[in-house]
Structure 1
Amino acid sequence: MSLKIILILLALSGVSGIVLGYVLRVLIGLAQRGSVELDTKRRLLQAKEQAAKIISEAEFRGEVIETERLAPIEEREEKLAAREERIASREEFLDSRQGDLNEKEDEVRAREQEALRAKGEAENLAAARSKELAKVAHLSEAAAREELFSEIERAHEEAILLRLQKLEANGRERFEEKARTILTSVIHRLGNAVNAEVMSLSVTLPSEDIKGKIIGKEGRNIKAFERATGVDVLIDDAPDKITLSSFDPLRRAIAKMALEKLIADGRIQPAKIEETVEKTRAEVADIVKQKGDAAAFETGVIGLDPKLTALLGRLHFRTSYGQNVLTHSIEMAHIAGMLAAELGADAGVARAGALLHDIGKAVDHEVQGTHVEIGRRILEKFGVDKRVIQAMQSHHEEHPYETLEAIIVQVA
């Protein structure tokens, strides 16, 4: 075969291959396009089905929501209808009541008019009667009225006097009954027994030998004791006691307590006596302060100067008419406070005046004057309220009663 033929065959083969490749490519492209269109149609169909399902569910939910929304509205409409019915019935009732009230108002107005007419007629009749009386008696209206009253008084003088006496007797009985009730209530509320204990000035001795120790050699111990305490020691024939004498109740108390301590200790000598008396004096000062503070606290009297409270505590060692003066003052303060509360007076002033009414007795053995005057000066010195001083100064009627609280303190 010649070269030319071979080349022609090769050229034809190449062209055939190219044509065949193109045809195959076209066929493959057509096949792929058909597959894509099929997939697209399938997806579109699925999307339509899903959309239809969603629309169906949405319609169902919409129907449910609409049903739920309409249900409360129907209930509300029913309630509103019921309320409107009640309001309508109430309005009908109020209308009927208003009609009744209008009728009653008309009746009241009519009666008021009748009353005014009757009053006018009565006033006219009274004026006419007065004028007639004045005309007959040739008197003025005022003189005629006075004459009429005088005539009535003369005609019924005995009855008027009896009535006045009866009113006076009834008033006196009511006041006395009220006073008895108040006093009975106060006494019942307090109800404390009077402390009749008198602080003894005698010291009991355990044996006869102790008396000799107290006297000491040539009387040195007893002289040292009297000098340290300021009291007189009286030794009589009684074997079991020694009597202490002094005008100062505080000194007597210090001496009694110190002597009892010395007897208990057994060492009785001048140096020991002075030491024991000093310690006892300090203890008594503490007792005085405690007693004064306790009395003021118990009776509710606050704001007192500490020095004044200490003077009040000294009354614990003072007796009067068989009673401890501080206890007596506390009881008086309670009674005065209750009386003041019942009578509408100042209970605080009454309590303070009663508690401090015997404060002068704390120093009346040292200062000239009655215990009332001494007490007034003490209270003025410490700036106590003037009303309290007025309340305490009249309890022995040395001063006139200036306030209701002063009378209450005196009664207490």
Structure 2
Amino acid sequence: MGEAAIVIVLLLACLVALVLVLLARREADVVRRRATEDVASIRTEASALLADAQRREERVVELEKDVAGERRDARAALEQARARAAEAEADRAEAARVRREAEAEVASALEAMSGLSSEEARAEQVRLATELATHDAAAAVRRIEARARKVAEERARRVVATAVQRVAGPTSAQSVVTVVKLPAEEMKGRVIGKEGRNIRSFEALTGVNVIVDDTADSVTLSSFDAERREVAAATLEALLADGRIHPQRIEIAYAEALAGADDRADAAGHDAAEQAGVRGLHPELVRTLGRLRLRTSYGQNVLAHLVESAQIAGLMAAEIGADEHVARRAALLHDLGKALTAELGGTHALVGADLARRLGESPVVVNAIAAHHDEVPLESVEAVLVQAADACSAARPGARREELDQYIERMDSLERLVVAHDGVRRAVAMAAGREVRVVVEPDVVDDRALPGLATDIARQIEKDLSYPGEITVTVVRELRASATAG
């Protein structure tokens, strides 16, 4: 029994081994079949790739043949182009030779007809071209200058008109009398005194004439000395405020009025700075300004002129976008030196500029003061505005006056200076000396020389004459021709 079991087990083991062998063979067959199929597929793909590579190689060969053909065509085209270029160069050289021959023939013909050589004809052509270009350039310059002058004059006229119309100033020149109001009509008798002793004492002490007329509420003080009139007015006002008027009291009031001159100068300087809208002035500048309340220029009060100039300069600066504060400050101080010219040498512009520099004013203000009569170059827009404001205040109607003899002498001097220029036939001063009409000889001065002559005359007037405001120079050239028919 035991052996039979063993045999059975062995048989079963053999069967299992046989089954495993069969299964292994089957799997081997499957693997072999798959491998065979893969190899066949790979061979098929390799055959296809080989065929494609052969086709590509054939295409490359064909392309090489095409490129070789195109290269041959390009070489042929290049050779043809070179040949044509050589032909064109030959044609160009031939054309140049023909043109030179033609130009030579034309030059010879022109020389024969004109009697001039080619060099002379070329020089004449250059001269004519230069003359024509010069004439055209001068005409263009005149047109540009006229257009620029017109635009500038319109803008300047608008700015000045806008500024001046906003300034309300006195329209008459300063007189030589001062009117003192009386608080009551009976004060007139006290001013006269018993048998006129108060007036005699007052006039002898102050050097001022006292005019008592039919006017009930005022007394007139007359004197050509502005300082005397001011001291006399201060004395009389103090007497009227006190009510006691007699020779001894007049002497006391006069002494007090003399002692208060600096205070009045300070007050006048502060008032002027306030009216002009200028702040932060040095005390010495304020007092020097106040001293100008007693100075006149052609009858115009200098301090009032400075205030008016500062207002005009500030308005013009605001119109054009400049520094309004600097323009006002420089215009208020531009005639500062007139209070010091009796003490220091030099022109009032330079003396005033030096004082302003020493007292800490800015370089722009100092330059505007020194340059307002063109003694030094202008360095800022504000300096130009100071000049314009000075001219506007001084030249407006009623601001200044002149004696008749001085006026006539100035007109004659102006005309004589203008007539002294070459080519000037006649000069006429017009508009109270504000304009000069200059008539020139048409055979001596041509149209192109007119602007230069006008500029030369204006510069000569600026150099040799002293005058208020501005003088316009107008040069006229008139050519007339006449004939008589018999």
Q: Greater helix share, 1 or 2?
A: 1
Larger radius of gyration: 1
TM-score with structure 2 length normalisation? 0.43
